[in-house]
Amino acid sequence: METIPARRIGKGEALIKSVSLFVTSGRKASVAAAAAAAAWKSRTERQGDGVSVKEARSRKMGDEAKCLPRIVEALRRNTHFSRQETEALVRVYQKLVASSADMMAGQAAGSGQGALLTSGGAAPGVCEGLDRAVFRELLHNAFDLVTEDVLMDRIFCAFDRTCCGSVRLEDWMSGLSVFLRGTLEERTAFCFLVYDLNNDGFITRDEMFSLLKNCLMKQPGDEDPDEGVKDLVELVLRKLDTDRDGKISFQDFQTAVREEQLLLEAFGLCLPSEGACQTFMATLCS
Ligand SMILES: [Ca+2]
Ligand SMILES: [Ca+2]
């Protein structure tokens, strides 16, 4: 097994501590449990106007506690995780959802909509799960992943496979499976999804330009600072566009990455480092 430099581990441990503080700080067990129960089925329909939050939660928790082992087993089968790891990751998800739910309940109470909340704290019409803000904080704190705003947003979209605006339990587990244990093929597909900004199946010159424009330092006195970026786009295109049609298809990208793995993150960081992954898993199961 590859050894990680001590400095890296130390930093990672601090990060994990900060994320566990983040997920546990000030959360009431009852809220966590209710939000967790809500996550199991990822239902978005409303319980009906006038059903109290407490009533809905207790009914749902009774039903869903019975399903828990089956759900964990289904999640385990579709990911690279063991049963113990799956259970631990589900618990982290529950805590994060609970912290999201707390925030939303606070906001709803402030606007007088508290009674209309569905169980789990999601406001009517809003999908249960992790929202962008919580997810972003997690990428930063737990995986030391700090990257361009556009990439942070695209990583969220790559996790949120149903495009419902939140990362649900299934999204969470399959996304982390790629992040933490993904094969080269899986990571290639993930990165392509992130870089294909408009989801049309190709990375075009315009998309490459958007992704690479902040890579180059602007020199004072540059007449056209975009020129350097355009040159860089052409250079990367020559490397990646294996069929020479002027845009990068998944096939192009896959072929290029198989030959040279460094091209995997050619358009910007979108996966956590191996050290950050190992530390996350070690802390998770300790
Ligand atoms: Ca595209
Ligand atoms: Ca091509």
Helices (H), 111-224: 132-143, 149-159, 169-181, 184-195, 205-212
The neighbouring-strand residues paired with 167 are 130
For residue 146, the model assigns a pLDDT of 86
Return d(Cα 8, Cα 13) in angstroms, integer.
9
Q: Helices 149-159 and 205-212, interaxial angle, to 10°?
A: 120
| 3-class secondary-structure state, position 2 | coil
Q: What CATH code would you report for 147-270?
A: 1.10.238.10
| pTM score | 0.72
249 Cα: distance to centroid of ligand 1 (angstroms): 9
Assess contact for 188 and 204: CB atoms under 8 A.
no
103 Cα: distance to centroid of ligand 1 (angstroms): 35
For residue 172, the model assigns a pLDDT of 96
* Ligand with the closest atom to the CA of 201: 1
Structure tokens, 25: 């700080």
Return d(Cα 92, Cα 18) in angstroms, integer.
13
Structure tokens, 73: 């087993």
What are the sequence ranges of the domains in the chain? 1-29+36-145+274-286, 147-270
Choose among 184, 186, 179, 189: nearest CA to 280.
Answer: 179
261 Cα: distance to centroid of ligand 2 (angstroms): 18
Assess contact for 191 and 204: CB atoms under 8 A.
no
For residue 184, the model assigns a pLDDT of 97
* Ligand with the closest atom to the CA of 250: 2
Structure tokens, 126: 């809003």
Assess contact for 54 and 137: CB atoms under 8 A.
no
Q: Which residues of 133-155 are buried (b: 16+ CB within 10 A; e: fewer)?
A: ebbbbbbbbbbbbebbebbbebb
235 Cα: distance to centroid of ligand 1 (angstroms): 18
* DSSP character at residue 116: G
255 Cα: distance to centroid of ligand 1 (angstroms): 18
Return d(Cα 253, Cα 258) in angstroms, integer.
9
185 Cα: distance to centroid of ligand 1 (angstroms): 20
Return d(Cα 229, Cα 17) in angstroms, integer.
39
Taking every pair of C-alpha atoms in the chain, what is the biggest distance, in angstroms?
68
Give average pLDDT by consecutive 10-residue segment, the chain, 286 residues. 42 43 37 38 36 56 70 93 95 88 74 46 63 91 90 95 92 96 97 97 97 78 82 94 96 96 94 94 86
Strand spans (E) along 215-274: 248-249
